[in-house]
């Protein structure tokens, strides 16, 4: 497949990776269906955590055992996922969570647990956009053929490090949300 065909496939995949989760979150919010919205929030959160675990942990071990050229090729192919899907889930998951908490009557911005959730969630978004999104965007807007493998690998390493930090913040966030749901 030529470069133009590959770009089209990436754009379609990127579009769908935003459209599908956005549609289900909007439907859950519009219909005020707590069960559906809870399912979507948990499922998106689990997928987001899984992707961060994959990038932040698994990629480190896999990448060590393959050549630089192969690593750069994999990184080039993974960039559309990091550019489209991860920012979408990092926006849609907390949005669904906010509406879910509001519909369930547990949203109280004065609650120390909610405040801790907001601080942890804000740090998560800052790390995500500061590393994963900006690095992916920077790499996707540059000419892929002109970029040296070492540049791509350095930036992809930053993305993987950001994913690892996000994973740790997500574990803290899930613990806080469990505290809120169980104990109020």
Stretch among 9-13, 21-25, 92-96, 161-165 having the lowest mean pLDDT: 9-13
pTM for the model: 0.84
Contact status, residue 94 vs residue 121, Cβ threshold 8 Å? yes
* 6-15, 100-109, 132-141, 154-163: range with highest mean pLDDT: 100-109
pLDDT per residue over 82-107, tens digit each? 778 888 888 899 999 999 999 999 99
- Check residue 148 and report its DSSP letter: -
Measured from the Cβ of residue 137, the count of other Cβ atoms closer than 10 Å reads 15
Q: Which domain holds residue 160?
A: 3-183
Query: Would you say residue 9 has pLDDT above 80?
Result: no
Q: What's the pLDDT score for residue 6?
A: 63
Tell me how many domains the chain contains: 1
Measured from the Cβ of residue 27, the count of other Cβ atoms closer than 10 Å reads 13
């Amino acid at each position: 497949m030529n470069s133009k065909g590959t770009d089209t496939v990436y754009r379609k995949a990127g579009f769908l990776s935003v459209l599908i989760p956005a549609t289900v979150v909007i439907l859950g919010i519009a219909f005020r269906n707590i069960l559906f919205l809870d399912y979507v929030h948990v499922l998106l959160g689990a997928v987001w955590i899984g992707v961060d675990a994959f990038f932040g942990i698994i990629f480190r071990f896999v990448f060590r055992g393959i050549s630089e050229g192969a690593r750069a090729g994999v990184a080039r192919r993974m960039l559309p996922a990091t550019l489209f899907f991860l920012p979408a889930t990092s926006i849609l998951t907390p949005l669904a969570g906010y509406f879910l908490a509001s519909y369930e009557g547990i949203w109280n911005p004065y609650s120390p647990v909610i405040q801790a959730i907001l601080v942890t969630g804000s740090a998560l978004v800052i790390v995500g956009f500061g590393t994963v999104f900006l690095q992916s965007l920077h790499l996707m807007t540059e000419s892929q053929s002109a970029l040296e493998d070492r540049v791509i690998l350095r930036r992809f390493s930053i993305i993987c490090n950001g994913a690892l930090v996000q994973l740790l913040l997500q574990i803290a966030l899930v613990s806080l949300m469990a505290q809120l749901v169980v104990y109020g």
